[in-house]
Amino acid sequence: MIQRIQTVYFIIVMLLLVALLSGVEIFGFPTAKGYLSYSVFGIQEFKSADAATLGKAQNFQRSVLFYFVIGLVLFTYYVMMSYKNLKKQFKLARLVFGFYFIGLVIILVLGSIGLIAPKAIGIQLGLGYYLCVVGLPFSYFALKGVQKDKEILESLDRLR
C-alpha cells in the first residue's frame, strides 16, 4: 500500500489539513479598532492597543470549517485505505478532489470578498491560506495515481 504514489499524496493531503487544525491563521483582517483573525476555529477579535487588551482573543463567531476539515481528513483516510477495490477508490478519490476544490473555492471567495469580516479595512493572507492551496494539487495527483492503477489493471484484464 505505501509503495503506491497516491498513498503518499493522500498522506500529504491529510497532513496539510491536520496542520490547519493547529489553529493557523487563514485570513487576517485589520479593522479600525483592532484585528480579526480567521482560522478553522472561527473568527477571533484582537483589540487595539488603545483598549489595552491586545493579544487577547475573543470568539467572534463559530466556524463549520472545523468540522469540514475533520470530515475531509477522515474521508481521505477512508479513500486511502480502500485500495483493494480500485473502482470504488477512484470514485471516492474524485469525491475527495471535488469536496476539497469546492471547500477551497468557498473559503477563498468568502475571504476575498470580505463576507467573513464585513467591517475589515483590508485582507492579509496567513499560513493556513497557503496550506489550503498547496493541498489541492496533491489531491489531484492522488486521483491521477488511482486512475493510472485502474487503467493498468484494466489493460491486464484485457490481456487475459
Question: Which cell goes with 31?
Answer: 479593522
**SS3 call for 29:** strand
Contact 69, 89 (CB under 8 A): no
Q: How confident is the model at residue 53 (pLDDT cuts 50, 70, 90)?
A: very low
Task: Enumerate the domain spans of the chain.
Answer: 5-159
* Cα gap 98→102, rounded to integer Å: 6
**Mean pLDDT across the stretch 84-92?**
91
Q: Is the pLDDT assigned to residue 115 strictly greater than 60?
A: yes
Is the C-alpha dihedral spanning 153, 155, 157, 160 positive or negative?
A: negative
Fold for domain 5-159? Butyryl-CoA Dehydrogenase, subunit A; domain 3 (1.20.140)
Cα radius of gyration (the chain): 20
CA distances from 101 to 17, 34, 85, 131 (A): 13, 32, 24, 13
| Residues near 111 by beta carbon (within 8 Å), at least 6 away in sequence | 26, 27, 38, 123, 129
Question: Is residue 2 very low, low, confident or very high in pLDDT (cuts 50, 70, 90)?
Answer: low
Can you give the pLDDT at residue 109?
83
Cα–Cα distance for residue pair 146/105, rounded to 1 Å: 24
Rounded distance between C-alpha atoms, residue 42 and residue 65, angstroms:
8
Asked which of 45-54, 69-78, 100-109, 133-142 is least confident by mean pLDDT, the reply is: 45-54
